Amino acid sequence: MKRSSRVLSLTCLLPLGLGVLTACGGSGSEVSGQDSAAGYPRTVENCGREITVEAQPERAVSLNQGSTEILLSLGLADRVVGTATWTDPILPSLREANSKVPRLADNAPSYERVLAEEPDFVSASFESTFQEVSSRDDFADMGVPTYLSPADCVKNNEGDGDGARDEPLEMSTIYREIEELARIFDVEERGDELVGELRGRLDEASSEIDASGVSMLYWFANKESPYMAGCCGAPGIITEELGAKNVFDDTNKEWPQINWETVAQRDPDVLVLGDLTRESQTAEEAAQKIEFLENNPVTKHMAAVRNDRYIRLSGAAMNPSIRTVDGVERVAAKLREFGLVE
């Protein structure tokens, strides 16, 4: 495929501190002049950094599925030259757009693999993904602006594990990510439309439902030492919107690993199971989780197991993303199906 004359060779990227892109002079460069119009350069405050783009990004790389699906939802498939770190199949509505975007890796790609695409912008949903690839500072040294989801910015990512939250995550933070990416790419109207659509769906799914008498548990993956949702991440949004109770809302860790004896003691009414297609942990698929639960002597007598009250959710819906709204919709529908709410 022929590349635009605006594509920058890595040899032309200069380390200008916090990710400001510039280009070498010469007949092939069109970054200055006409491309500086339309309100560029643009700067966004992101996780304690000022991220500046000199023009609309044309060679973006997204390192997580959540970030990728936002960019595709904004109609930016033609400006994304690589994606990575997937837990689930693409949303059906985005399948055609996604087919045009190369997948650099199913999990985290190498730093060299990302740079091979000559990116002018790199985004990720999680700080841990940047760390696996290299670091935001390394990209900045190459003159490549990076953007981290605000949902991860407001989380304490120090130490092992998936971090912890002092305050519950809100959908407004996910909307902010959409709006900021839309501003960076000069598609603010599309961003407003997407946020409006998600708000409407969320309101419809959560209205006229009261699940205050229902207790739930969210299991992401791993059967030996399972990752269960704490109080305040994306599962917290789902639980709060429906008025239900998460049996592990007494921990602010994002995904604490909890032993099965404790799980059985909490004995929730409903088990929300991650149905992942990646191959990273044990018991990724919901079917594998159910087989384990129904055969493990510690868990097979739990009320949710005996009554077949399983709700399958994509991994993306259990992470902060546009799919968190899908999670609210599906959980609400299944609670009604189980007869636990009207």
Write down the domain spans for the chain. 10-148, 211-337
> What is the reported pLDDT for 264?
98
- Give dist(CA 121, CA 126) in Å, integer: 16
- Give dist(CA 22, CA 16) in Å, integer: 8
**Residue in the structure block whose two tokens are 């790199």:** 122
Question: Could you tell me if residue 255 is left (phi over 0), alpha (psi between -120 and 50 degrees) or otherwise beta?
Answer: beta
Distances (CA, A) of 89 to 9, 65, 93, 316, 317: 32, 9, 11, 10, 12
Same-fold call for 10-148 versus 211-337: yes
pLDDT surpassing 90 at residue 5 = no
Decide the pairing of beta strands 80-84 and 227-228.
unpaired
> What is the reported pLDDT for 159?
75
Question: Could you tell me if residue 198 is left (phi over 0), alpha (psi between -120 and 50 degrees) or otherwise beta?
Answer: alpha
Taken as a whole, the chain contains a residue count of 342
Where residue 11 falls among pLDDT bands split at 50, 70, 90?
very low
Q: Could you tell me which residues come within 8 angstroms of residue 49 by beta carbon, excluding any fewer than 6 positions away?
A: 18, 19, 136
3-class DSSP assignment, residue 213: coil
- Give dist(CA 71, CA 81) in Å, integer: 12
pLDDT surpassing 80 at residue 34 = no
Which of 31-40, 118-127, 178-187, 258-267 is the least confident region?
31-40
**Residue in the structure block whose two tokens are 């909890």:** 258
Q: In the CATH hierarchy, which fold is given to the domain comprising 211-337? A: Rossmann fold (3.40.50)
The pLDDT of 42-59, averaged and rounded, is: 96
> What is the reported pLDDT for 251?
97
pLDDT surpassing 60 at residue 36 = no
CATH architecture of 10-148: 3-Layer(aba) Sandwich (3.40)
